[in-house]
Structure 1
Amino acid sequence: MTHAESLLEARITGKTYRRPDGVAMEAVHDLSLSLARGEFVCLIGPSGCGKTTTLRILTGLDRDFAGRITPDPAQLAIGIAFQEPRLLPWRTVEENIRLVLPSARRSMDLSGLIESFGLAAHRARYPGELSLGLARRVSLARALAVEPDLLVLDEPFVSLDAQAAAELRRCVTLAAERDGRGDGGRMGVLMVTHNVREALQLADRLVLLAPRPTYILEEVHLDVPRAARSPDWIEAGRAALAARFPVLREV
């Protein structure tokens, strides 16, 4: 990867928590990761391995760690869609999306973004009137409203029924395949998941994480175009990874 292509470079030498009983617990150990502009990377690992902790460090939400992130995440426009939509219940769909915009852009036309997520009929509704699938779409639209350098997704499809998950994956795919942001730059995507199948469906590169304290077991580059990734191809890829990495057999 050339410097011009690089979006984020991380070296996390260690991240330690202090348990309530005072015992130190290491969550991440000696993890190095790079992300290029226009690249879709999935962090995959078993539950509790430290995926979300790593994500919080990479996005600047957790600065209590040993290591370095370049550039400082504060210098990047980062849009985040969490597992929980985190919508304000007293704000409408459109108002929730606008909340992340700087004051100078707060009145900009969001019709195209709202329509692209199938939310035009819901823009005046409140979160309590939405299904989980629709609420997740609002969360993703809000993350993209800032025209991010980096789009971060923390298990965005968990707990959704098959149809809602498929629709949200379609929205994510369309966002990832856009030509660029408003300034012509290319957005990178970093997604945390424990679902190998959905990672194989969406990503350009898989980063396989070990159980806690987590580190990178291996990085897998996926050269097959997304449109050509059939269910059989995805299942074969999942089986091959599970055979090589027993820790992924239940992922």
Structure 2
Amino acid sequence: MTTLDIRALCGIARHAGREILRIAETSFAIDTKDDNSPVTIADKTADEIIRQALATLSPDIPVLSEESAQTAYDIRKTWTRYWLVDPLDGTKEFIKKNGEYTVNIALMEKNSPAFGVIHVPTKDTCYFGGASHGALRIIGTGHPTPIRTRKPAPGETVVVAASRSHPDPNLQDFLRTLPPHRLLIAGSAYKFCLLAQGDIHLYPRFNPTMEWDTAAGQAIVEGAGGVFTTPDGAPFPYNKPSLRNGPFLARA
């Protein structure tokens, strides 16, 4: 992937993010999807922007997005390369107007996140990277800055991320296995960015997510030197018959 491609991907995510911010200032309606999760015109508008831009950037690579019709497993199981997109991750945070929402775009290769982009609209910051690319951060139109995960120093309190809008009843059991720690509560895939730039040390998740919620974050965390696996240390699976995820651990 060339620098021009990366710049283009960040530009696509930033464009979607600017439109999300514009809609945030309007009296937008809130609808409910079949799974009882909320959806707004911001989700749908960002989805259209990203899908059209990716079709221009890479017309030969299919797109799987949360807000578009889902491709049947019999078709997508043959894909060796595809885009996995969450055009507005953290819709509940967007509705609450707390700023903790993101635009997620991942390039999947052989059912693994090879490269990811997470744009945080309210911070005008783009995080991007992958295991073979490292991880970087661009604030506004500035220059890319490398970022790295950071393990806790000896005796340092472990900082653990937890979801703001999705309480996890299994988290307390896991926390009891840790040394002294404190929780940092945040919404959306921004938690992966906090891990990648060394602000937190661990992000465990036991309640359900979807594949588009985690792919870009996994790529960036791995690019920043971190690890993303199932709780027992196995590789995290993608492009499953069901796109619902099981538990994961993301750590420095």
**Bigger-Rg structure (1/2):** 1
Regarding TM over 0.5, the answer is: no
| TM-score band w.r.t. shorter chain | under 0.3
> Which is helix-richer, 1 or 2?
1
